[in-house]
Amino acid sequence: MIKALVFIIVGFAAMEFSGWFIHKYLMHGPLWMIHKTHHQPSKSALELNDLFSLLFGSIAVVLILLGVQELDYRFWMGIGISLYGFLYFILHDVMVHRRLKWFDRPKNPFLKAIFKAHQAHHRTNQKDDAVSFGLFVVPKEFFKNEEK
């Protein structure tokens, strides 16, 4: 069971770090035509940018299916990626962008920092000049107290 937990953590961490890289260098680079729909106001429930979620989710499903018979590392990494995707949906789509109105603004310091970092990311609707490309690894500047 320890190995399973390690591979879940590896899958989760791989998503955060590869997601940061993909977001910064591909989504805000050659794939901007897709990603820019996320930086523009939308009246639709879906954005072209949601294709990225389908891609990452597909990777998780393939890993789970490849590893399900043996419950090997692929299965557990797929579970880690799926956990990341679920938490990403809750934090990013529900809490930050309020695509579903389930929660109020966060009061927890870590969740507040995630919120502030993502708000800073969206201060521009341009390909360049954006900051804070990850979700869970939040630059320390976003933990500073607002009352200062």
Whole-number Cα distances in Å, 83 to 10, 52, 86: 11, 16, 5
pLDDT tens digits, 12-38: 999 999 999 999 999 999 999 999 999
Q: Mean pLDDT over all residues of the chain?
A: 92
- Give the tens place of pLDDT for each residue, 86-111: 999 999 989 888 888 888 888 899 99
pLDDT for 129? 84
**Which has more confidence, 145 or 65?**
65
- For residue 103, give both structure tokens: 């929660």
Domain boundaries, the chain: 2-103
Q: What is the pLDDT of residue 148?
A: 43
